[in-house]
Amino acid sequence: MIKENIDIVEWITEGKYTSKELKLFKENTQLYELQLAKLEFSRFGNNLGEFIKRTGYFEEIFGQKSWHYYISSVKGKGQIGHTNQYMTHWFYPYKGKYHGQMVKALINFAGVEKNDIVLDPYLGSGTTLIESSLLGVNGFGIEINPALAIISQIKIDALKIDYPEFSEAINIKNIHNIFKYFNNLKIPEGSIKPIIDENIDARELLEILWHDYFPESFLHDFPFEWRNLLMLIYLHALSDYTYLKGTKKSKSLQEFFYENFEEYMKTIKGTYNVINKLGIELGNFKIKINSALTMPIKDDSIKAIVTSPPYSIALDYIKNDEHLLKYLGIDINLLRDQMIGLRGKGKEKLRFYEYDLRKSIEEIYRVLETNGWAIIVLGDICINGNRTNFKDKILEWSKSIGFEEVFALDRAILGGFARLRFEYLLFLQK
């Protein structure tokens, strides 16, 4: 006899529970989301006390709201449901980020515990490290773009800002002088060299900027994390101003700064309240400005890797953030020569990308612990109407490199960027 209604929670939990006991978030109805819910439950479903703190896809456990319900209720710009843009994820409009909810489930599936390390060798805007920090586990990020490295550092540091103290000191009375300070900054072009051999971390670079390039001012009396967050608000405004100039949404740079300041304050307040309400002990993290091809990490030392390689052969990250790079005085030409997917032209560019991507998978294998999982979120890019099909290539490489278990989950992209029609989650176990 065929059931009229299938209880999806019963399927996820393999008959252990039904939707009367466990409740999914309403918007999570796509097959890949249900599969991720099943994967994270497979790791922590035997300890519901821990599962309620860690789950990304369940809203309630026996009538009690999950921690993700509260965390994702701190809404950011453009947020839909409980998947992304919550907490500090929305700070700075980076193109190409993935969903925090999904990343949380992937970290859960990898079975990462408090003293383990989660690595993202293509850190971008810091999604993986924000999620690992909120789960109370340690994170390590590698990012070759110094601008993105410091943005990620600031976003994760912002999780710890004491809102009452911050709001008392930073208010509408001094916001004009703060805007004026950052707007008058002039860092000479090419001052910051993205040289990976120096193995500098993001925090050190921020300290260099404040010491060597940012003139002494009243801002220097504020805590380091406060100054950085105020700079990020300005950089966010600069991005809005750059991309919306000449459109119906166009405003002055100062107007964008004031608007974003108010929105950031709401998020910092909500973040502070939720973290304190739940008693979240944030995980430690470090971000190195380096290459995913030569990571400064010991062999067999990483429990889990959750990452997404750049789509540079289809998306010019440097061009998209040129205003940011120039403001921070970063040597754009040197950076372009080092970034995966931006070297070469035409078919040569694609060959370089493929070579570098394989080398990256080899590095991932090297640093991963035995039995550890590497999970790669990969877009199926089309160039000139032809699929690149790196999904199958990575799965094939991974087997030859030595990964013991290899499988993929597929997700169709509905609408959006025409070159990206599918996204794959590649699971590789050492």
Question: 27, 81 in Cβ contact below 8 A?
Answer: yes
Note the residue count of the chain. Answer: 430
Q: Give the residue from 282, 249, 219, 221 showing the smallest Cα distance to 88.
A: 282
Q: Which amino acid is at 395?
A: L
What is the DSSP secondary structure assignment for residue 283, as one 8-state letter? P
Query: Mean pLDDT for the chain?
Result: 91
- Residue 316's pLDDT is 74
pLDDT of 414: 63
Interval 298-303 mean pLDDT: 97
* Inter-helix orientation angle 175-183/253-278, to 10°: 120
Please give the Cα distance from 49 to 405 (Å, whole number).
Answer: 30
- In this predicted structure, what is the pLDDT of residue 382? 65
The DSSP element (H or E) to which 390 belongs, if any, is helix 390-401
The encoded tokens of residue 227 equal 């100054």
Is residue 1 pLDDT above 50, yes or no?
Answer: no
Query: Above pLDDT 70, what percent of the chain?
Result: 94
Beta bridge partners, 65, equal 60
The pLDDT tens digits of the residues spanning 368-393 come to 999 999 999 988 776 666 677 889 99
AA letter at 114: K
Q: How far apart are the C-alpha atoms of 315 and 184, rounded to whole Å?
A: 31
H-assigned helices in 158-252 = 163-169, 175-183, 202-208, 224-244
pLDDT, position 158: 98
How many Cα atoms are found within 13 Å in the side-chain-facing hemisphere of 259?
14
Ranges 28-32, 132-136, 142-146: which has the least confidence:
28-32
Please state the pTM of the whole predicted model: 0.94
Residue 292, SS3? coil
- For the chain, helix (H) and strand (E) counts, in that order, are 17, 11
The Cα–Cα gap between 415 and 123 comes to 26
Q: Is-contact 371 428, C-beta < 8 A?
A: no
From CA 284, how far away is CA 30, in angstroms rounded? 33
Q: Which two tokens stand for residue 421?
A: 């029609």
CA–CA distance, 105 with 419 (Å, rounded to integer): 27
Strand partners, 377: 425
Residue 142 above 70 pLDDT? Answer: yes
| Angular region, 300: left φ>0, alpha ψ -120 to 50, beta rest | left
Residue 396 in tokens: 């094939």
Alpha-carbon span 304 to 371, nearest angstrom: 9
pLDDT at 160: 97
pLDDT in tens, 209-259: 999 999 999 999 999 999 999 999 999 999 999 999 989 999 999 999 999
**pLDDT, tens digit (0-9, with 9 covering 90-100), for 58-91:** 999 999 999 999 999 999 988 888 889 999 999 9
